[in-house]
């Protein structure tokens, strides 16, 4: 069986595509098709990303038109609602979802001097950095991993915050300074996981994906994405979540922040992994009842 696997043209996306191609080896002949997305163009120009779908729209269109059979994404870039006709076909074994600090010269987060500039384009990271260290300056940092690390070494910022998973896949873990505990910086929804999107009516392809799907990682993804969908938060709101599946059990921790880190709402829920999406939605309802909607609306504004 031959399948066409769509991926963005970035170094990280192509590494991820090759990981999936390798996982499917022996089951299918995989052709990797590069698709340049709106998000890639905006990122290259240093422009802000206004919607998660900027990184997925063109791949979705290629899937729906039949130009490709599968698309691989960093799951944190995938909107909580997929276009009609597409499904999340598989979530392979998740990488460590935590955030990491890279600093130049190397200093731990607690050792950064007051006023030090920490680069990130993520409202979620910005809010949590300021909540923990209001004496720091959070500066806008855009571009791919290579670009951000190069600019860090050139002295544009004193430190940057990235996802550990991306560095792991690019074999650059030796460059990190510190791994953040989730009690300090809670990850993004879906961080560390890959999402393989397929057409809903593609029975043979979806059956093929069953061989690379990790049930625990998939349940974690459903819980976190269920929470995000109910919060209707999008990519501009400082929302963080981390689910952990252990056997048939699942726990979910989530938080919503004021953009400046001055206020936060945090909650936790537990249940069976089979009810993952419902667990996410229930926790979202609880956070909304405590005022999360107001924080999200302020962030979007």
Residue 52 is predicted with a pLDDT of 54
CATH architecture of 1-91+193-213: 3-Layer(aba) Sandwich (3.40)
d(CA 130, CA 81): 30
Domain ranges of the chain: 1-91+193-213, 99-179, 214-301
Chain position carrying tokens 């909580």: 80
- The residues, ordered by sequence, that sit 6+ positions from 174 with a Cβ below 8 Å of its Cβ are none
Element (H, E) at 31: strand 29-34
Between CA 268 and CA 280 the distance in angstroms is 10
Q: Is residue 197 within a helix (H) or strand (E), and if so which, with residue range?
A: strand 194-199
Can you tell me which residue has the tokens 């571009």? 143
Residue 214 bears catalytic tag: no
SS3 295: helix
Q: What is the pLDDT along the chain (301 residues), one digit of tens a residue?
A: 899 999 998 899 999 999 999 999 999 999 999 998 765 665 554 555 554 567 788 999 999 999 999 999 999 999 989 999 999 999 999 999 999 999 999 999 999 999 999 999 999 999 999 999 999 999 999 888 999 999 999 999 999 999 999 999 999 999 999 999 999 999 999 999 999 999 999 899 999 999 999 999 999 999 999 999 999 876 678 999 999 999 999 999 999 999 999 999 999 999 999 999 999 999 999 999 999 999 999 888 7
Pick the CATH number of 214-301 from 3.90.226.30, 3.30.160.40, 3.60.10.10, 1.20.1730.10: 3.30.160.40
Q: Omega of the bond prior to 105 within 30 degrees of 0, cis?
A: yes
Alpha-carbon 43 to chain mean position: 16
Catalytic choice (40, 54, 77, 158): 77
CB-based burial, 82-105: b 16+ in 10 Å, e otherwise: beeebebbbbbebbebbbbbbbbe
The phi and psi torsions of 256 (rounded to 5 degrees) equal -125, 135
Distance CA 78, CA 149 (A): 24
Instruction: Specify the fold of 99-179.
Output: D-Maltodextrin-Binding Protein; domain 2 (3.40.190)
Number of alpha carbons in the 13 Å side-chain half-sphere of residue 86: 26
Report how far apart the first and last C-alpha atoms of the chain are (Å, whole number). 48
| pLDDT value of position 155 | 97
**CATH fold match for the domains 99-179 and 214-301:** no
């Amino acid at each position: 069986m031959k399948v066409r696997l769509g991926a963005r043209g970035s170094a990280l996306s192509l590494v991820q595509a090759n990981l999936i191609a390798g996982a499917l080896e022996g089951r299918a002949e995989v052709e990797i098709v590069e698709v340049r997305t709106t998000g890639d163009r905006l990122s290259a120009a240093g422009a802000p990303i206004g919607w998660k779908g900027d990184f997925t729209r063109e791949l979705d269109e290629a899937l729906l038109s039949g130009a490709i059979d599968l698309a691989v994404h960093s799951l944190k870039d995938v909107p909580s609602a997929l276009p009609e006709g597409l499904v999340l076909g598989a979530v392979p074994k998740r990488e460590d979802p935590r955030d990491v600090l890279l600093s130049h010269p190397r200093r731990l987060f607690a050792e950064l001097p007051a006023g030090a500039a920490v680069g990130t384009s993520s409202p979620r990271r910005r809010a949590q950095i300021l909540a923990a260290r209001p004496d720091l300056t959070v500066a806008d940092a855009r571009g791919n991993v290579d670009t951000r690390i190069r600019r860090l070494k050139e002295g544009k910022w004193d430190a940057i915050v990235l996802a550990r998973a991306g560095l792991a896949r690019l074999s650059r873990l030796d460059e990190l300074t510190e791994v953040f505990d989730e009690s300090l910086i809670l990850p993004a929804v879906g961080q560390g996981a890959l999402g393989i999107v397929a057409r809903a009516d593609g029975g043979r392809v979806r059956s093929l994906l069953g061989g690379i799907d990790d049930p625990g990682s998939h349940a974690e993804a459903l819980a976190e994405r269920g929470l995000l969908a109910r919060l209707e938060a999008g990519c501009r709101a400082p929302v963080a979540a981390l689910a952990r599946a252990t056997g048939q059990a699942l726990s979910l921790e989530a938080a919503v922040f004021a953009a400046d880190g001055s206020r936060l709402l945090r909650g936790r829920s537990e249940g069976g992994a089979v009810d993952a999406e419902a667990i996410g939605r229930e926790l979202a309802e609880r956070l909304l009842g405590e005022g999360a909607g107001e924080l999200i609306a302020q962030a979007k504004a």
